[in-house]
Structure 1
């Protein structure tokens, strides 16, 4: 897997290559690029698809300890990733986390389109029971290690305070184990995770939402009807804020639509990019 040295640290990524429209897929907390494993093959034949693994707890290489790690750091890391690889006309796609909203506001120059998929927005932080559990774990000494061990227990994975809140269908055990292994085995990754979560500004996404009014480029908002973490009205609100926003709601799915309804999601992405090319 290729990697790139950025200001905040080393980021690994996958790149299908090719000459088609560039699509960059961003994941959420305690996931890595494998959350897109069913989407990439559907787009790859005629798109160049890149999937970086962000420092959200499932990354394998710790970030530089002397560089502050916060949502603002990740926004700049994403922008630097696009710059260093000289990616233009990018369709920036994000699920679960909300950093792409701020990227679109602060660094729109390389973006052609924006796709927001059931993500944090407005004042929804921490989102749902899992978000509150993460916040509490990060504030208690040893809490992150304990949380990772609990989530790693197979009988508990479907509980509504864990991965069960994110999907209607079980995520394969080998994928979940890959997501959790860095937090379970590497103290430096746990330190990164705490640094990130303890640096969240509660007003960040409210500010980003206001800024989205100026993102006058094609934008697609895809929301899960059965989402337990991201309020349904937030999808409608984001679509209304974006000057060229369009809302698609997907049934029989929770937050991770790429897990619950990958074929439908891939079809919506393909159609959106083709329509706005």
Structure 2
């Protein structure tokens, strides 16, 4: 049976959401893929080819990233993003799903799994954002200042895509022109900076330990030992708070595990999802 691929946009909660579907077999479960902060579905470019024969895949650009709308009206909180993911999954009439999230996408996955254990049967977390507090009052206040978004744009431009990739990849030899352009592309749209300004205002902090302990679905956690963004001790703590979880850490690997260790990540996902 051949894979059927299509990309589309759907209006959900007032915002246009870009998503990509790889359909293999309607009887197979769907694996929902959620990317991290300042990223897009591009981050899964190496594992999608290895997963698309085993699952139906739904890769989502969380607003305001990737090809999704850069709206200043949408509430860019984790709880609202999770609601958006749930509504998109239901609109596509998906009944059985596993959910996979990298970094910020991991936190959105956890919220979605907490809200809808009937829909998301298993959770996969790659260097997932966890235990971050609510944005400081000063920064939140700053987001209401006119043209604050220009400061965000200036800061990101000063960092540059190469410096940001150096921060998330352990083996810098993996960084090439295709990788740099792929992560830079969404930022050609100036609207993203205004939306990021709104995102600062809406950020509510990560799930508390007592909420994590109520997520009973089987959970797979994969971390890079050299992760500078979400250090490996965060993953170890998360493993202790999620009651039905397994944890793997990888030597000489940074934050961007789907890019750095695609074969290993795919193998663990397959083993985990196929286990009863």
Bucket of the pairwise TM-score, normalised by the shorter protein: 0.7 to 0.9
- 2:231 and 2:16 map into 1 onto residues whose CA distance is 34
Counterpart selection for 1:57 from 49, 60, 65 = 65
- 1:81 and 1:52 map into 2 onto residues whose CA distance is 9
- For residue 131 of structure 1, what is the aligned residue in structure 2? none
1:50-129 alignment, distance < 5 Å: 50-63=58-71, 65-97=72-104, 98-123=107-132
Counterpart selection for 2:17 from 6, 11, 17 = 11
Q: Is the 8 A contact 1:171 1:259 kept in 2?
A: no
Secondary structure of the equivalent of 1:114? strand
> With structure 2 as the length reference, what TM-score do the two structures score?
0.84
Q: Is the 8 A contact 1:24 1:49 kept in 2?
A: yes
Change in CA separation of 1:39 and 1:253 when aligned onto 2, cut-off 3 Å = same
Q: Is the 8 A contact 2:78 2:111 kept in 1?
A: no
| Structure 2: tracts of 5 or more residues without a match | 1-6
Paired positions, count: 258
Secondary structure of the equivalent of 1:195? helix
| Structure 1: tracts of 5 or more residues without a match | 127-133
Task: Give the Å deviation of 1:60.
Answer: 4.7
- For residue 197 of structure 1, what is the aligned residue in structure 2? 200
Secondary structure of the equivalent of 1:16? strand
- For residue 241 of structure 1, what is the aligned residue in structure 2? 241
- For residue 34 of structure 1, what is the aligned residue in structure 2? 42
Q: Deviations over 1:111-153 (max 9, x none)?
A: 1100111121013678xxxxxxx99x96845122223433446
- For residue 257 of structure 2, what is the aligned residue in structure 1? 257
Which 10-residue stretch deviates more, 116-125 or 226-235? Answer: 116-125
- 1:274 and 1:224 map into 2 onto residues whose CA distance is 23
- For residue 178 of structure 2, what is the aligned residue in structure 1? 174
Q: Is the 8 A contact 2:41 2:66 kept in 1?
A: no
**Structure 1 stretches (4+) deviating beyond 6 angstroms?**
none
> With structure 1 as the length reference, what TM-score do the two structures score?
0.84
Secondary structure of the equivalent of 1:2? strand
Which 10-residue stretch deviates more, 26-35 or 66-75? Answer: 66-75
RMSD: 2.5
Task: Give the Å deviation of 1:91.
Answer: 1.1
Change in CA separation of 1:112 and 1:125 when aligned onto 2, cut-off 3 Å = same
- 1:9 and 1:92 map into 2 onto residues whose CA distance is 21
- 1:8 and 1:255 map into 2 onto residues whose CA distance is 32
